Amino acid sequence: MLPLLALAVLLVLAFGYFGYGRLVARSYALDDARVTPACRIDDGVDFVPTKRFYLLGQHFSAIAAAGPIAGPILAVQMFGWLPALLWIGLGVVFIGAVHDFASLIASVRHGAESVAELARRHIGKRAWLLFMIFIWLALSYVIVAFADITAGTFVGKTEELAQVGEGAVLFNAGGAVAFASVAYLALSVLMGVVERRLRPPLWLLTLVFVPATLFVVWLGTKTSTWLVLPADNPQKLWGLIIIAYCFVASLLPVSTLLQPRGYLGGFVLYLALFVGTVGIFFGGLRYPGEFDVVQPAFKSFDAGGPTGLMFPFLFVTIACGACSGFHGLVCSGTTSKQIEKESHTHAVGYGAMLLEAFVALIAIATIVTLAPGSKLPGPGKIYGDGIGKFTSVLIGKEHMVCAATFGAMAFSTFVFDTLDVATRLGRYILEELFGWKGRTRAAAATLLTLLLPAAFLITARAPAPGVRPAYMDFWTLFGTSNQLLAALTLLAITVWLRREGRRIWYTAVPMVFVMATTVTALALQIRQSFATLFSRGLALDAVTLNGFVGLGLVALAAAILVEAARALRRPVEATAAADPT
């Protein structure tokens, strides 16, 4: 049954790219004769013309974070695999990929400006300011949720393995993932240095550094205790170390870390997709019965509690697996500055989002074969073990330790690649908001972007057996704010298309649906948060933060909607034209 489900989803994704995606692409009249911002500016730092395949890997690595893994796994646990698959398949083709593609081409047509700048150009300065505040808040939730979930993969239980030589070997699963991830980042920097100074052909870099990336995964299993932190709460310490990494990484030129790391990370993610595909289609042949779908297709319309209703929480729980506002920030913040030709926006924008949906399919496959009713670990553990199980189809169960380490490292790679991109985007927003220029002010903007996530991590409760992890306190609001940002981005793009006299139905209809879903989800979460606050009082914790941030997000979205309605009633002016050059 699992192969048939996967085949059905793949056919839907193929229809999306070759059918609906091309229909949307024709509406933009893509023209490779139009000089892109990357080619026009080409400053070697942010604006760098990049080959399509290289950029696809980098962009895919940047957008494919914990969302398409953790979200679908949580949704299957709450509602069953059928609602999750339906939303992922249909949502990504008609909403998520359209959003990403539209964000990318709109930014390229406007000099690689951000989504907020697009709002200022076509809605007004007040909408721009509101967008900036909304995006900055949404990015804060991206960073805190992903930093904590990544830190959790670096903390594992030390176990004794089989006797080797004269004594037992100690193995720390989290330490192995930590070493492999840190070594992977070091390889990325080395690759960037080699590429800039020696300028070897891309195939040679690939031949050397992709196998080296797999080698450090194996090496991590042999050095699993090297990066075990001696702290009372190592997960919190790792979270703060990751925040410090984000500060440094987001200030480096894209060619130093972002591009080579994204390229290598793309291969890690492609390999994860490959072994996942092998496991789905051939696992049952090698290990009969172990890859059967045993989780229920449908569980309930209400997963329990005041925020457990399938509508709207199925949609915001899955989040990035079907639609993500964060992708619009990546498209208009970093990727649009590297597009070499307009025609590449279809493959990079629409195509990468379909790849992310396939990531979500693999994530669902890692949980549907687990026995229902049993106590399941967190999404990161489920995914890592599942990828290890899929890998064993190729290399055998005797290598499960290395295979599971690769799975967990692939998970952290999804997340790691997004963290410093989110930080870089936060820096761009503050620089744009305050008109800051220069490296010193860039560092100040980066520090300000990371202060709120750092405060969240410092005040987060410590992990405890039987208690859900700290990132889950922010996950639902993260997913809600993320998809509400997607709705607002589609709103700005719809206004732009309308003022240019183009068709708008393919952005307007998804915008209305996502807006209604996310506002409903926000209203229910705000009600729950303030009911708790009224009963127990104020406290510096997730309940308080979520309640007040939720109110702020609703107010900002409402104000942007009002400004957009006013803009649609105004006559088109020459200053609203696209691409000022």
Residue pair 108/29 in contact (Cβ under 8 Å)? The answer is no
In this prediction, residues 487-516 reach a mean pLDDT of 94
Task: Quote the tokens at residue 358.
Answer: 């396939």
| Residue recorded with tokens 């957009």 | 564
Summarised one tens digit per residue, pLDDT across range 136-184 is 888 888 888 788 878 888 887 666 554 444 455 677 878 888 898 899 9
Fold annotation for 2-576: Amino acid/polyamine transporter I (1.20.1740)
- SS3 call for 296: coil
Does residue 54 or residue 355 have the better pLDDT?
355
CA–CA gap between residue 24 and residue 19 (Å, rounded):
9
Summarised one tens digit per residue, pLDDT across range 329-363 is 889 878 999 999 999 999 999 999 999 999 999 99
Percentage of residues in the chain with pLDDT exceeding 70? 93
Query: What average pLDDT does the structure give for the chain?
Result: 86
In this prediction, residues 254-260 reach a mean pLDDT of 82
Task: Quote the tokens at residue 62.
Answer: 């940047």
DSSP for residue 571:
P
Summarised one tens digit per residue, pLDDT across range 404-447 is 888 878 777 767 777 877 888 888 888 878 888 888 999 999 99
The band of 367, judged by pLDDT with boundaries at 50, 70 and 90, is very high
Residue pair 418/159 in contact (Cβ under 8 Å)? The answer is no
Summarised one tens digit per residue, pLDDT across range 191-235 is 999 998 999 998 899 999 999 998 998 898 888 888 988 877 888
CA–CA gap between residue 442 and residue 338 (Å, rounded):
20
pLDDT at site 468: 66
Does residue 540 or residue 554 have the better pLDDT?
554
Instruction: Indicate the length of the chain as a whole number.
Output: 581
Q: What's the whole-model pTM score? A: 0.86
